[in-house]
A and B are shown apart, each in its own frame.
Chain A
Amino acid sequence: MSSLGDDLARRRIAVCVGPGGVGKTTIAAAIALGRALDGARALVCTIDPARRLANALGLAALGNVESRVSEHKFAEAGLRPKGTLFAMMLDVKRTWDDLVTRHAPDPARRERILRNRLYQQMSSALAGSQEYMAMEKLYELATDRDYDVIVLDTPPTAHALDFLEAPDRVLDFLGNETARALLAPAAAAGKLGLRLAQLGGGYIAKTLARFTGQAVLGDLGEFLQGFQGMYDGFKERAAAVHELFSRPEVGFVLVTSPSPVAIGEVLAFHERLHAESMPIAGVVANRVTPDLWPSGKPPSAAELSRALVAAGAPDGALAAKLARTLAEHQALAAEERRALERLFGALDAPRAVVPRLETDVHDLAGLARLCERL
């Protein structure tokens, strides 16, 4: 089996997926950096980077536009990249606005949508909106720019699978013909219309209005009407994104920590990707406790005490603390190893194990050390 790094070297797009809190953003940045060091024009698109990582990538004040990581940042880190590294942070609201602007037939229509109350809520709050926009942005970057490689970090989701389903869910909302047909005349007439009332002898309409109030339905009608005619453009685009995601130049990178909960989620995600024939580049087990005592029982306090004496630094109390610390460390390492065996046993894909580092990775030098492990 090829290494994860070899596999990634043939991909033009890498999508990092996995549960929240496992270090997806850091791994995404490290993959992009690795390719840039090797000579590629590489971009990492992050969702919500830690502040210091954002600073390291020069992302301090930028939203939704790509910026090049400056040469002096590399020089500071003692790195001499053969290529170039770009980074950006996804701005969901801006991406929505851009999408509407691109598809709106005229400025009046564009303004009507952008000002709609429901649109404003939806573009930030509708479940799946962030995921949908991450995919949308990726498609734009992949088709309109000339990067050799694009690495996408994905939003933290309650369920990892939300990411794949989000665009369909959002489009289902925008494209519901029945709802639009029923609500459009209502909005035009400025009141909850007759057509809706015709349905089920009026009582469904009345019941709905009892729940939501008429204003909400009015907004929804106006909103759906605004999207009329644009929906096909959206739909084509979503189909194109879907098609892009099944090409071999794309690779999903499953990122996990060694915790059983995270591994369970990653396995479910893998199953799903597999069922949909999505290309899998490999799996990264991040923040793994290194095995410091590979064979046999860890040393006792007495053994360590003798070793400290031999080293010219006798200290019984320290020896006892060290024995306990190493034993706990190894117990954790063993537990994680068992969890990872379950993970690696279940998937046939290139893998990388990244040990937990002493400090958080928050500069280019740290990222460079990390990408040596991939």
Chain B
Amino acid sequence: MAHWTLLDRRLVIVTGKGGVGKSTVSAALALIAAREGKRVLVCEVNAQERVAPLLGAPPAGGAVREALPGVFTVNVTPHEAMREYGLMVLKFKTIYDAVFENRLVRYFVRVVPSLAELVMLGKILHEARAEERGLPRWDLVIVDGPATGHAVQLLRVPSALLDTVPGGPLRHDAQWMEAMLVDPARTSLAIVTLPEEMPVNEAIELDAQVRSVLGIHRGALFVNAMPEARFERGEAARLTALVAAPPPLGPAAQAGRMHAVRAEQAARYLERARAALDLPATVIPLLPVTAWGRDAVEEVALAIQAGGAR
């Protein structure tokens, strides 16, 4: 891809079905950007933290923490984000405490639909546009987003608020948040999928929703864990006949056949994803059982760079 500049934006949102490898891809993108000299923040959204551990660092929790040189992580939680937001609006901690530690108010904060999402998204977008001494605080903010449905819910909050809230600070915040989200120069969204039926279906549905509901620029498709096409068609056919052979040939042919069938199906789902999604696609090979963690992230980063994406 000649001029693909996903990582030149200020904010990259990574999403896809649960279990497809969003955190691994987010960590790999952060690694690539940091090696280009960027200061990167990876935000997880009220999640079981994965990114820092993947990079071999302890979880950051609610406070920004450097996992590797140039790569910082944070787990954005509603409670912390609300506190920060409240302090920004109310200016004084004593007022915040008096108001927000009130039980009834806590109830409102919890149940007014979307308020938790709004403050979490607000915190992330605030980081992405923050400047210090005239320079951006972060060259790049990567959101290791929630899974498909929850991600759309999260990203839709500003526009939903603009539809329902007539005025006040919430509306004001929703306005700048929405403007930032739909600005293709600053924000792009990457979809991660596996070359399997359900994840590809979900990626296609997600893509449609991003276009029709969210209006956020879609910058990349990552097809993760793609098995290598190791056996040619003729070989695969021969393996079927050899499965019944005595060991060692039978079991080896069985393993080969399973691999061939899986690779063939994966190729079909990859094709389906490519045909249905008009997005630059990067294929990340299925890694053999490796130590889960840093090594896998390095390999994924290599694959992403080899695919021409950055």
Contact = CB atoms under 8 A, between A and B. Distances in A.
A204 B101 CA distance: 11
B257 to A, nearest CB: 8
B259 to A, nearest CB: 5
Interface stretch (B128-136, B159-167, B180-188, B216-224): B159-167
A220 B112 CA distance: 8
A143 interface: no
Interface in A285-312: 292-293, 298-299, 303-304, 307-308, 311
Contact of A212 (B98, B104, B160, B165): B165
A122 B252 contact: no
A216 B103 CA distance: 19
A60 interface: no
A323 B17 contact: no
A179 B168 contact: no
B204 to A, nearest CB: 11
A358 B236 CA distance: 13
A284 B253 CA distance: 28
A199 interface: yes
B268 to A, nearest CB: 11
Contacts of A125: 113-114, 153
B197 interface: yes
A335 interface: yes
A320 to B, nearest CB: 11
Contact of B249 (A208, A211, A304): A304
Contacts of A292: 251-252, 254-255
Interface stretch (A67-75, A134-142, A231-239, A326-334): A326-334
A325 interface: yes
A159 interface: yes
A212 B248 contact: no
Interface string B102-126: 1111011011111100000000000
Contacts of B198: 21, 50
B111 A173 contact: yes
Contacts of A199: 104
A182 B108 CA distance: 12
A209 interface: yes
Interface string B161-205: 000111111110000000000000000000000001111010000
Nearest to A261: B19
Nearest to A174: B111
Contact of B17 (A21, A126, A208, A260): A21
Interface in A188-238: 199-200, 203-204, 207-213, 215-216, 220
Contact of B201 (A50, A117, A261, A311): A50
Contacts of A307: 245, 248-249, 252
A178 B150 CA distance: 30
B102 A204 contact: yes
Contact of A332 (B90, B253, B289): B289
A328 B259 CA distance: 10
Consensus secondary structure, chain A interface: helix
A209 B99 CA distance: 12
Contacts of B242: 311, 313
A212 B108 contact: yes
Counting chain A CB atoms within 10 Å of each CB, which of B165, B198, B257 scores highest? Answer: B198
B261 interface: yes
B47 A358 contact: no
Interface in B240-265: 242, 245, 247-249, 251-259, 261-262, 265
Consensus secondary structure, chain B interface: helix
A120 B102 CA distance: 28
A328 B153 CA distance: 40
Nearest to A23: B198
A212 B230 CA distance: 58
Given A159-B48, A199-B104, A325-B230, A216 B112 contact: yes
Contacts of B63: none
B113 A122 contact: yes
A21 B19 contact: yes
Contacts of A203: 99
Given A211-B169, A329-B255, A321 B230 contact: yes
Contacts of A204: 98-99, 102, 104-105
Given A20-B147, A158-B147, A207 B99 contact: yes
A215 B166 contact: yes
A215 B164 contact: yes
A260 B110 CA distance: 32
A156 B249 contact: no
A165 to B, nearest CB: 13
A323 B252 contact: yes
B238 interface: yes
B197 A52 contact: yes
Given A158-B146, A304-B248, 16 more contacts: A20-B147, A173-B110, A203-B99, A204-B98, A204-B102, A207-B105, A211-B115, A215-B165, A216-B164, A216-B165, A220-B112, A304-B249, A307-B252, A311-B242, A326-B252, A328-B289
Interface of A: 19-22, 50-52, 117-118, 121-122, 125-126, 156, 158-159, 173, 176, 178-179, 182, 199-200, 203-204, 207-213, 215-216, 220, 259-262, 292-293, 298-299, 303-304, 307-308, 311, 313, 318, 321-323, 325-326, 328-332, 335, 356, 358-360
18 contacts: A19-B19, A20-B19, A21-B19, A121-B114, A156-B18, A158-B47, A176-B107, A204-B98, A204-B105, A210-B169, A211-B168, A220-B111, A262-B19, A322-B255, A328-B289, A331-B289, A332-B289, A359-B265
Interface of B: 17-20, 46-48, 89-90, 95, 98-99, 102-105, 107-108, 110-115, 146-147, 150, 153, 160, 164-171, 196-199, 201, 230-231, 235, 238, 242, 245, 247-249, 251-259, 261-262, 265, 288-289, 292
